Structure 1
Amino acid sequence: MQTDMTTGKKQAQLFTVQNMVKMALCIAFCCVSAFISFPLPFTPGLVTALTIALTVTALVLPPQLTFIAVAAYVLLGAVGLPIFPGGVGGLGRLFGPTGGFYIGWPFVCLVESLLKGSKVSFRRYALVAVVAGVPLTYVGGLISMMYVMHVDLIQGMAMAVFPFIPGDIMKALLAAVIAERVNRMLANR
């Protein structure tokens, strides 16, 4: 019985007004950043600023809240709000060639959040974002691209991975800078 009360207290401490506001701001950041996107002619994937917002979310929120916030973003888009890259929404996006990215994001962000550590550190954030976040993001997208487009591994990587690597590394580093500044600001309050 004591552990149930302790678990309830921990959950209550996790879902504070401050944390709920942070989650809402992170979801809003994801929604707005998704509109900053452009297509590449040889792939159904879009280059998007959303990956910056997702990484910032993972590096600012605790792991449980990260998963909930990113899953809420995906759910909002899945029910039809036009908040996915390209200004679209709906279940069709989740079952299309890029659907694996959307489905994988809550899990990728959870892993990033778990690996970020407790100290505010640009180096740690950058390492986690580049070494864990970028490659893990490609896994879901590659699988869905191969399955839906009926292509092999090399063709799938040519459409879902290779063209995006340089930009995604730069976006991961930018997200680490933003997250470090936000976390330092929040720590000084």
Structure 2
Amino acid sequence: MEKIVPLALLLVLCICTIRVHAKYYSKSAPYEPVQEKKTHLRFFLHDTLSGNNPSAVQIAGPNTTKNVNDPTPFATTFVIDDPLTEGPEPTSKVIGNARGLYVSSSKDKNLTLVMYVDLGFTNGRFKGSSLSVFSRNPVTEKHRELAVVGGRGRFRLARGVVLVKTQYLNITNGDAVLEYNVEVVHP
């Protein structure tokens, strides 16, 4: 047994010092800057919390008594499947949908939402593409800016901003029509 221990240590030492021959496979190409495009989009998002067929549904809320005058108290979470249209009217041509969620994230009177939403286009020039928005949305501010953090399809690797303007808001039930002016840069 005494001879086996030094022999085992010698064997481990030999194995550790053996050179490993491996090839790293890669293909180098000269750097060519990607030509980026700037795209401007304008459309309207219809967020409906009321009625028999809402496009925004509350899935979680605070563990307190709800104030009737506040449709979105702190910690209220909604899942959305809002239509995107060419114009502010509900009868305007639908060009896509906004799917995701938003959370009421402010305790004070200035309603602020944190949103994750995928703006998917189902008609028109960008059919099959989408933009990913993940940002704070200070609803009570006149000028709001949301961050575009990515996209799919023709908007792959997109980055930019969404300037949001409220066209219509029913403060009783929370229904809203929002104008989205989007500026994105993408390959």
Superposed pair shares fold, TM > 0.5: no
Q: What's the TM-score, normalizing by structure 1?
A: 0.29
> Which of structures 1 and 2 has the bigger CA Rg?
2
Q: Which has the higher helix share?
A: 1
Q: Which has the higher strand share?
A: 2
Q: What's the TM-score, normalizing by structure 2?
A: 0.29
